[in-house]
Amino acid sequence: MQLEGNQPIWDVQPTKAFGQKFWLGLALLTVTAIAIASLFWLGAHPFSTNWDEGRYVNRAYRDVAAFRQGGVLELLKAVIGEDRTRPPAYRLLVLPVTLLLGAKPLLLRLVGLACMGLSVWLTFLMAKRIAGPTAGAFAVVFLTLCPIVVAPSLRFYVDYPYYLAIAATLYFLLASWDQDEPSRNWIGLGVSLGLGALAKPPFFFLMAPVGLLTLGLVWFKWIAAPRLSSLVKACILGTLIALPWWIFNVKPGLAKALRSSGYVRHSLGARGSPEAIGNWFYTFVQTLLGPALTLLFVAIVATVALRLVQKRLQLERFQLTAIALFLTASLPTLITSIFATNQNPRLIAPALLPLAIAIGALAALTGWTTSRWLAAAATVLFCFQLAVMVSPTPGEPRYQAGDSASKSNVLLWGNPSVVMRRSEQWDWSKLREVTIAQNIRVPSIGYLGNGGGLAAPQLAFPWVEANEPIEVRWLWRFEDNLPNGGNENTPPNWTQVMASVNASNVVVTALNVSGSAADKQDIDNRYNAELIERMRQRPEFLGPVELKLGRFNPARVLVFLRKSESSIVTSDNPKPKYLEALY
């Protein structure tokens, strides 16, 4: 963007109220407020909050146990040979901490947050290089106020190395973009590519358009660097880093990625239907950006479009190609997700990082950080969304409920009003105490229901923590009916359910737990009461023993215990379907 005298607009002296110090201060305030609220949230959640986090926490415990039992060799076997469907970056990055201090959920989450903090810092540096410090600050505020970026980052997921890999890859590309290349820059790029390949398979899809754009710009000499030789060396280094895991696990790893893409539980409607598309845009507004950021996003895009029509937006070649780089890293993932089957917004949230960089640069280049009225409007929207995300206290009922929009059946992750919402915490060590009292040495647990703390990895956690054997089988979920022509309203095949009961020595279900309607957990809980009645008629089981689990609305968890191990029907003993998901 040029003004009279060929002076870039972001170099113009800003208004006194909205100078560079103001935007840097706002970025620092935003990050600090989110960080403090996050620490309070972490302190209130000693256990995992859902199936996915429970699985990853359990895996971290198992890795530490493998190291203590057999040293480095046993750990390497576990990293390569266990959980073969998920690349191990999320496990590898926490190992220095867990091997030294132990695998505690709090420590695991803190490592994830630290990596997210590094990703945010790289975001600042990239936007700063394009359009100055105010662009960097704007990008940081925009990214850290996206609900779908913050809420999952509070949990120990596989996402944190994915964010870091994306940020680092783009950073090292931009570091040598169209200028004399640092001699060893390709090493950082190669390590970042290797980390991405070990983070999540979608990294390949997200980075493919970036690679094609970069090669095209280099081939047609639109940019002087990175040189083709450096890109080749970086790709070779990244391949060498990722190869030891992928060479053994390419088939299960890719199969899991394809299977995840077809996960119907998180579909927003029939694929490509107007309903699904409409729900996606509603999710974009409420969950990905939040209403306030959406207004700002639309306003900035409209400003850019207006300047283009008026031919008042003139970008230098470096700025134009750099912004194109970040849009290429973001838009394909966002657009294709509109027509996907699995539309869990957490899966596409990392694409918001390069989008935030592009928005920060465009905001600075179109006057949103210097014009008094535009800067004031952006500040109000930023502060409003920040206040909604962090201001409520744990004692307020609204803090648990969120606003009315967050209760929509299509919002899996709610909106800004529920980002810091406290989740139910179920202490399943009480179940372990019950099984010990009944002298059940190796529990084989069958359970029915979903939501809250009722999930296989969370059930197994006390035994995983103690490094003891455990089996958990999900007796039924609504997807079990779909291959046979059923639907969400089809009841379970009770013959199959009770066959799994026959293979269990502990049966668990819960009353007064509905679960998330957006995750269709309410469907999984429809038949809990019927299972209880059927179990009461089984003389080989004791109970039910009732446990009260939860903090806000304690659930009645009913436990049936087999009187004798010899009464297990081994002929009907199916392998637990979801045993591999415990860790």
* Average pLDDT in the chain: 90
Provide the pLDDT for residue 484: 74
| φ/ψ of residue 546, rounded to 5 | -100, 130
Provide the pLDDT for residue 78: 94
pLDDT confidence bin for 568, thresholds 50/70/90: low
- Specify the DSSP class assigned to residue 442: S
User: Rounded to whole angstroms, what are the CA distances from 201 to 204, 249, 498, 581?
Assistant: 6, 12, 38, 18
- Specify the DSSP class assigned to residue 351: G
Q: 437 pLDDT exceeds 90?
A: yes
pLDDT confidence bin for 452, thresholds 50/70/90: confident
Q: What's the average model confidence in pLDDT over 463-470?
A: 95
Sorted by sequence, the CB contacts under 8 Å of residue 487 that are 6+ apart come out as: 481
Give the end-to-end CA distance of the chain in Å, rounded to a whole number.
Answer: 52
Provide the pLDDT for residue 512: 86
Residue whose tokens read 């293979």: 503
Q: What percent of the chain has pLDDT over 90?
A: 76
Q: 155 pLDDT exceeds 80?
A: yes
Q: Where are the domains of the chain?
A: 84-261+273-389, 429-581
Provide the pLDDT for residue 16: 59
Provide the pLDDT for residue 182: 65
pLDDT digits (tens, 9 = 90+) for 112-131: 999 999 999 999 999 999 99
- Specify the DSSP class assigned to residue 553: S
Provide the pLDDT for residue 432: 96
Provide the pLDDT for residue 401: 57
Q: 203 pLDDT exceeds 70?
A: yes
Provide the pLDDT for residue 406: 65
Q: What is the DSSP string of 191-212?
A: HHHHHHHTT-THHHHHHHHHHH
Please state at what angle helix 202-219 crosses helix 159-175, rounded to 10 degrees.
Answer: 10
pLDDT digits (tens, 9 = 90+) for 81-100: 999 999 999 999 999 999 99
| Furthest-apart CA atoms within the chain: distance in Å | 91
Q: Which of 166, 190, 121, 113 is nearest to 348 (CA)?
A: 166
pLDDT confidence bin for 574, thresholds 50/70/90: very low
Provide the pLDDT for residue 19: 85
3-state DSSP assignment of residue 506: strand
| φ/ψ of residue 510, rounded to 5 | -140, 150
Provide the pLDDT for residue 501: 96
Question: pTM for the complete prediction?
Answer: 0.92
Residues 96 and 261: beta-carbon distance below 8 Å: no
Q: 328 pLDDT exceeds 50?
A: yes
Q: What's the average model confidence in pLDDT over 156-162?
A: 97
Residues 329 and 192: beta-carbon distance below 8 Å: no
Residues 458 and 520: beta-carbon distance below 8 Å: no
pLDDT confidence bin for 575, thresholds 50/70/90: very low
Q: Record the tokens describing residue 504, joined without a space.
A: 């269990």
Q: 225 pLDDT exceeds 90?
A: no
Provide the pLDDT for residue 395: 47
Q: Point out the least confidently predicted range of 129-133, 175-179, 264-268.
A: 175-179
C-alpha triplet 263, 265, 270: angle, nearest 5°: 85
Q: Which of 69, 71, 61, 99 is nearest to 466 (CA)?
A: 61
Helix (H) or strand (E) run with residue 123 in it = helix 105-131
Q: For residues 325 and 569, what is the distance between their CA atoms, to the nearest angstrom?
A: 60
CA dihedral (198, 200, 202, 205) in degrees, to 10, reads: -10
Q: Record the tokens describing residue 318, joined without a space.
A: 């470096």
pLDDT digits (tens, 9 = 90+) for 482-502: 777 778 888 999 999 999 999
Provide the pLDDT for residue 17: 62
Paired strand residues for 548: 556
Residue 379's Cβ-count burial label (10 Å; 0-12, 13-18, 19+) is middle
Provide the pLDDT for residue 404: 64
Sorted by sequence, the CB contacts under 8 Å of residue 169 that are 6+ apart come out as: 189, 192, 193, 196, 207, 210
pLDDT confidence bin for 409, thresholds 50/70/90: confident
- Specify the DSSP class assigned to residue 412: T
Q: 569 pLDDT exceeds 80?
A: no
Sorted by sequence, the CB contacts under 8 Å of residue 490 that are 6+ apart come out as: 478, 481
Q: For residues 171 and 191, what is the distance between their CA atoms, to the nearest angstrom?
A: 12
Provide the pLDDT for residue 7: 42
Provide the pLDDT for residue 392: 63
Q: 223 pLDDT exceeds 70?
A: yes
Q: Which of 318, 287, 458 is nearest to 385 (CA)?
A: 287
The strand pair at 506-511 and 444-447 is best described as parallel
